[in-house]
Amino acid sequence: MDIGSLTVEILSEGHFELFRDGHINRTPRTAHATSTPKDPGNSNSVMAGINPVLVQSDEHNILLDTGLGWGLDAGSHNIDVSNVCTNLQIFGLQPEDITHVILTHLHYDHAAGSSFTDADAKTQPTFPNATYYVHQKEWDFALDQINRDQLSYSERYRLDEFYRLVSNNQITFLSGDITEIINGITVVRTGGHTPGHQIVIIESDGEKAYYMGDLLPTEYQLNEYVMEKADIYPLEAKKKKVQLLKQACNEKALLLFYHSGNGQAGHLFRDNDKKYVLAKQLPL
């Protein structure tokens, strides 16, 4: 897909069942197709795709979230799995070619592919030449988990790998609410899902796309809010979602869904009942 002069590719690690206690099963595509992801906030597990996004300009290769990264570690038992690196190969890219990594937040399913363990059991950045972007509020909140006793699923972070990236000076912590990373790629802090959750707006030659992270994980949540249990600040998340969807609809923007089961993306419209619907292509 093109957004002006930028190319946008939806990558896919496959389909997973994500459990509230943190464990994850890989599921075949058919299992997902028959499930109804109606109420991810209340069930014990949720079926989800994992779809990081690659944005390419003439000079830059930008990754939006890095997925689970299964199979990246040296000696990993996960063979024959898709991860962000096997996905990049399809586009003729090596991990070294990635210039920017923007993490919507630091939950495991969005950020674990940021690093791997090498043959000497050392943590290494998966993308050695990239600058990683994380919101300062996200980092502070994640670090603060040691001060809280009863952690909900959304308050749990696995940070060990990130200390290495921080000590390598590879992470830029963003502090403002809106930051342009490079021309046409803007990060907007939304909070809601987590305190430092941020989305990415891609804009080029009058065309726009919104990558909403966990503020809008799948197309099923366009007209419903079912994330009460998953969002740390549900009211804030709901408000931001409404506001951004309105904005994206007015702009006839393309929406990209990280947890969609089939890599769904589409331009946003309202039907006669004022419900949001996706059109795969802009009508002429």
Q: Hey, which residues between 142 and 201 contact Zn ion (CB under 5 A)?
A: none
The residue number with the shortest CB distance to Zn ion is 107
Of 95, 68, 234, 96, nearest in space to 154 by CA: 234
**Which of the ranges 68-76, 136-144, 209-217, 235-243 carries the binding residues for Zn ion, by CB under 5 A?**
209-217
- Beta bridge partners, 61, equal 56
* Shortest Å, Cβ 110 to Zn ion: 6
- Please identify, using beta-carbon distances, which residue of 100 and 107 lies nearer to Zn ion: 107
- Please identify, using beta-carbon distances, which residue of 60 and 107 lies nearer to Zn ion: 107
For Cα atoms 135, 49, 74, give the angle at the middle one, nearest 5 degrees: 75
DSSP string, 225-249: ---TTT-SSHHHHHHHHHHHHHHHH
Residue 284, number of CB atoms within 10 A of its CB = 3
* Shortest Å, Cβ 135 to Zn ion: 13
Contacts of 259 (CB under 8 A, 6+ apart): 46, 48, 49, 50, 51, 214, 217, 218
Tally the C-alpha atoms within 13 A of residue 261's C-alpha that lie toward its C-beta.
17
Instruction: Look at strands 254-256 and 198-204 and give their pairing.
Output: unpaired
* Shortest Å, Cβ 107 to Zn ion: 4
**Which of the ranges 40-48, 80-88, 102-110, 125-133 carries the binding residues for Zn ion, by CB under 5 A?**
102-110
d(CA 161, CA 184): 30
Residue 252, number of CB atoms within 10 A of its CB = 14
Among 107, 189, 241, 259, binds Zn ion (CB under 5 A): 107
**Token pair 């987590």 is at which residue?**
194
**Which of the ranges 69-77, 106-114, 202-210, 267-275 carries the binding residues for Zn ion, by CB under 5 A?**
106-114
Residue 151, number of CB atoms within 10 A of its CB = 11
* Shortest Å, Cβ 40 to Zn ion: 11
* Shortest Å, Cβ 153 to Zn ion: 9
- Please identify, using beta-carbon distances, which residue of 110 and 267 lies nearer to Zn ion: 110
**Which of the ranges 103-111, 135-143, 178-186, 204-212 carries the binding residues for Zn ion, by CB under 5 A?**
103-111
* Shortest Å, Cβ 156 to Zn ion: 10
Among 161, 214, 219, 231, binds Zn ion (CB under 5 A): 214
* Shortest Å, Cβ 97 to Zn ion: 27
Total number of residues that touch Zn ion (CB under 5 A): 2
- Please identify, using beta-carbon distances, which residue of 22 and 128 lies nearer to Zn ion: 22
- Please identify, using beta-carbon distances, which residue of 152 and 223 lies nearer to Zn ion: 152
Of 71, 282, 111, nearest in space to 196 by CA: 111
* Shortest Å, Cβ 208 to Zn ion: 24
- Please identify, using beta-carbon distances, which residue of 71 and 196 lies nearer to Zn ion: 196
CA torsion sign for 41, 195, 139, 248 is: positive
**Site residues (CB under 5 A) for Zn ion?**
107, 214
